[in-house]
Amino acid sequence: MIGVHRRKANEGFKIVLTCGRAVMSDYYNFSGLGFTSAVPNNILPSLIYNRFFPLKSDREGRMLEAQLGLCKIEAALLDYGFTREEVIISDPTKLKYTVSPKTKVVGIGVLDPLGLSYGSKVVKFVLRRFGLKCKKSIMSKTFENVIFDPAIRRYRPKIIVGGQGSWQIIDSNMQEKLGIDCIVEGEGEGVAGEIFEKAVHGENLPRIIRGNFVEANKVPVIRTPSRCGVIEITRGCGRQCLFCVPGLLPFRSFSKDRILEEIRLNLKAGIDQVSLQSDDALLYGSNGREPHPKALLDLLACIRALGVDEDRLGFEFFSIRSIMLNPKLVDDVSEMIGLHGHRYSVVEVGVETGSPRLLAKYMAGKVKPFNVSDWKDIVLSAAEILHSNNWRACYSLILGLPGETRDDVLQTLEIVDQLKTYNCVIVPIIFMPAGRLRKKGDFAFELMTEDRWELFFECIEHTLIKAPSFLKNNSLTKKIRNGIIRTLFYFGAMRMRRWRKSRDIIFNSPKRTIQRTALESPCGESGV
Ligand code: SF4
């Protein structure tokens, strides 16, 4: 499976796939640690953050487990005809061994390469309020370490970049400055073989290439185990919320056999946890509209039959509409993974807004077949179903959608006030132009009105208090770790509360123009 012989120094590989340390790491199987990659690298220097982001590779530099996107691209190249002797997913700290004169192309996966994501921006904003200077985020710094790695600069292979964050490089015109030959946007598996072959033969590459829809049975089965046991069970959503990238892609479910094959690979490598990746796991095996309970329950039964402990099996996302279309499926899934007594599981759920007007404008498909005017009741009923089945939900909201008014924000606040009665966290996401709204301009913190700040702080304060209860306490080390996190979060929440009370800190900064009345975001009412 994994190459074990040590190559001579500088022998290298023809194709090297890699990514920044903060993307590649398994975070000690505690994916929450990944969020610290948004912290500026001058606040957490490399001596410390390297400890947060461990890497597992063998002596020749091959990763023993890697980020799922890179595993898929590696598998696509192997299916295309390249051999394991030619292709490596490389430890980013061992590029001096894996990149050599023999290396024709380096493929780099990116999530937030320039620190432009919501998470990086919020962390910077908060730290600046504490009077701290903020340089680039750890995620951004570790990407830079790879792209400017001395071995890559010395041997000058072609550089291909792909992944969720590739838009940041395109939109900020940084491609030439970073020396990137080709950026792949969208699904990479369908184009990887051809584009890497061209690179290997020294042919010119297109500056930007669009990776199109890949049918479920053509998406390759991974050969390198996936970190944190992440396994993709569906892709795309197709409900076409205007701000969402998966929403543009048609919905597909992967076959049970392929999913089980990938889980077996992980188990063989000692990764005993399974995290089922999907934008709405309750739709597994369906036509993308209504849940197909038999397919999902059968999949779960087969996963359990492989010996996966119920405590080690989790989901990423459920949608509110699927919960409401089939509440019994939530009961059955909960029972199947043993959620009773003190046992709980965490799942992410998108609420996005409390405003029926914004729902109708940007995300009607998210609500169908229900009515947007019933959204508040639907959200709260779904929250009750999750809560009574021992799910701890992480609800997301979007602040600053183009054309958002004070009334819209107040309607969202109403939902938040009621959601807070459940053991949940609520994460406010500042609108970032993506999907069909990509060219619609960014929403800046300078445009936060008093109502938006109220909503923002209410969510963050609640989240800081509740989040530690989501952490598992099943060993002494975890109890100590969680105690430290709980204390830090508690002080963070108290600090937020003080900010809210002394509004001057937020609203009277000399650097910002504050508008206390309802504000339109840059796109205005006719933004879409
Ligand atoms: S329902 Fe969710 S995943 Fe689907 S398009 Fe809307 S926001 Fe995206």
**Model-level pTM?**
0.88
Q: For residue 147, what are the contacts with CB-CB under 8 A and spacing of at least 6?
A: 108, 159, 178, 179, 180
- C-alpha of residue 289 to centroid of ligand 1, in Å: 12
Ligand 1 atom with the shortest distance to the CA of 363? 6
| CA-proximal residue: ligand 1, atom 5 (nearest) | 247
Closest CA to 57 of 8, 17, 30: 17
In short, whether 241's Cβ falls inside 6 Å of ligand 1 is: yes
Pairing label, strands 105-109, 158-162: parallel
Q: Which residues pair with 345 in a beta bridge?
A: 391
In short, whether 279's Cβ falls inside 6 Å of ligand 1 is: yes
- 476: burial class by Cβ within 10 Å (0-12, 13-18, 19+)? exposed
| CA-proximal residue: ligand 1, atom 1 (nearest) | 366
- Taking CA 350 as the corner, what is the angle to CA 345 and CA 352, rounded to the nearest 5 degrees? 145
Return the beta strands (E) in 56-207 as ranges.
Answer: 87-89, 105-109, 158-162, 182-186
Task: Say which CATH topology domain 217-507 has.
Answer: pyruvate-formate lyase- activating enzyme (3.80.30)
Q: Where in the chain is the domain with CATH 3.80.30.20?
A: 217-507
CB 252 within 8 Å of CB 207: no
Residue 328 is inside which H or E element, if any?
A: helix 327-336
In short, whether 276's Cβ falls inside 6 Å of ligand 1 is: no
| Tokens of residue 52, six digits | 């947060």
In short, whether 366's Cβ falls inside 6 Å of ligand 1 is: yes
pLDDT at 6: 52
Q: Which residues pair with 18 in a beta bridge?
A: 108
Pairing label, strands 230-232, 274-277: parallel
CB 394 within 8 Å of CB 425: yes
Of 235, 244, 361, the residue with max ligand 1 atoms within 8 A of its CB, to mutate for a pocket test, comes to: 244
Helices 476-501/450-466 angle, 10° precision: 160
| Tokens of residue 192, six digits | 């990887």
- C-alpha of residue 333 to centroid of ligand 1, in Å: 22
In short, whether 246's Cβ falls inside 6 Å of ligand 1 is: yes
CB 22 within 8 Å of CB 139: yes
Closest CA to 421 of 395, 454, 453: 395
pLDDT in tens, the chain (528 residues): 444 445 554 589 999 999 999 999 988 877 777 778 888 988 888 888 888 899 999 999 999 999 999 999 999 999 999 999 999 999 999 999 999 999 999 999 999 999 888 778 778 877 776 778 888 899 999 999 999 999 999 999 999 999 989 989 998 999 999 999 999 998 999 999 999 999 999 999 999 999 989 999 999 999 999 999 999 999 998 888 888 877 678 899 999 999 999 999 999 999 999 999 999 999 999 999 899 999 999 999 999 999 999 989 999 999 999 999 999 999 999 999 999 888 899 999 999 999 999 999 999 999 999 999 999 999 999 999 999 999 999 999 998 888 899 999 999 999 999 999 999 999 988 887 777 777 666 666 667 788 888 898 889 889 888 887 777 766 777 777 777 777 877 777 777 777 777 655 455 443 433 333 333 333 333 332
Of 235, 366, 375, 436, the residue with max ligand 1 atoms within 8 A of its CB, to mutate for a pocket test, comes to: 366
Residue with tokens 């009923």: 381
pLDDT at 439: 66
- C-alpha of residue 241 to centroid of ligand 1, in Å: 6
Is the backbone peptide bond immediately before 246 cis, with ω within 30 degrees of 0? Answer: no
